[in-house]
Amino acid sequence: MRKEEIIGKTITNIYSIVKIEVGGLDHGECFIELNNKIIIDIPFGFCEDIWVKDLDKDALSLFDDLSDYTVYHINENNKTVGEIANNYQRQRRSIFNKLLSVLFGHEIAIKEYQPYKVEYKENKLKHIKDRKITDFLWYDDESEKGLILLENGYLITETNFAPNGTGLAGLNFYENLNDLTLAKGSDYFKLTDQKVIR
């Protein structure tokens, strides 16, 4: 499949496999489903063709749950783990708390680990599902995958290898071209500037 053939197609699902290697490199692979029919790989910018591939049996859909995230804030006073542990031990040794423990089997709770605020964060993946592809962008770096531009301005790409714990392996996205240029610069190429798309 040629790169220009994805223009106008709709992303109906994205599947992903991420393998974590503690202390090493995490590995991610994405499977982009177009029009409920074919699965493609996000190509490198220098490639003219897009690899049509089979869905791996271990890949999970990123669109299974598009509800917003619940974030619990704990440790309001930003105490260190050592400070929290020392405070807990001091409270546990008090006569009152020892008595509660012996009589009722009640252990004191570590209040710094109790949520003091609940916040809801938007799941931005809902802005990617069922969106049409309008362009393909890439930078002059042969080690990086290109970016698929969607009709609402979102851009998606894939990072195959990233340092463990960064969370960058797998699907990555930018909300708009401004976010992309702030992160990576404006010296990208656009497929629609290079070719006449039918």
Q: What is the mean pLDDT of each run of 10 residues along the chain (198 residues)?
A: 94 96 93 97 90 95 93 80 76 72 72 79 96 96 91 96 91 96 94 70
Same domain? For 28 and 75 the reply is: no
Q: SS3 sequence, the chain?
A: CEHHHHCCCEEEEEEEEEECCCCCEEEEEEEEEECCCEEECCCECCCCECCECCCCCCCEECCCCCCCEEEEECCCCCCCHHHHHHHHHHHHCCHHHHHHHHHHCCCCCCHHHCCCEEEEECCHHHHCCCEEEEEEEECCCCCCECEEEECCCCEEEEECEEECCCCCCEEEEECCHHHHHHHHCCCCEEHHHHCCCC
Instruction: Check residue 179 and give its pLDDT.
Output: 96
Same domain? For 60 and 128 the reply is: yes
State pTM to two decimals. 0.77
Same domain? For 145 and 188 the reply is: yes
Instruction: Check residue 63 and give its pLDDT.
Output: 96
Instruction: Check residue 143 and give its pLDDT.
Output: 83
Same domain? For 128 and 108 the reply is: no
Domain that holds residue 78: 70-120
Same domain? For 96 and 137 the reply is: no
Same domain? For 59 and 144 the reply is: yes
Same domain? For 150 and 173 the reply is: yes
- Number of structural domains found in the chain: 2
Instruction: Check residue 195 and give its pLDDT.
Output: 61
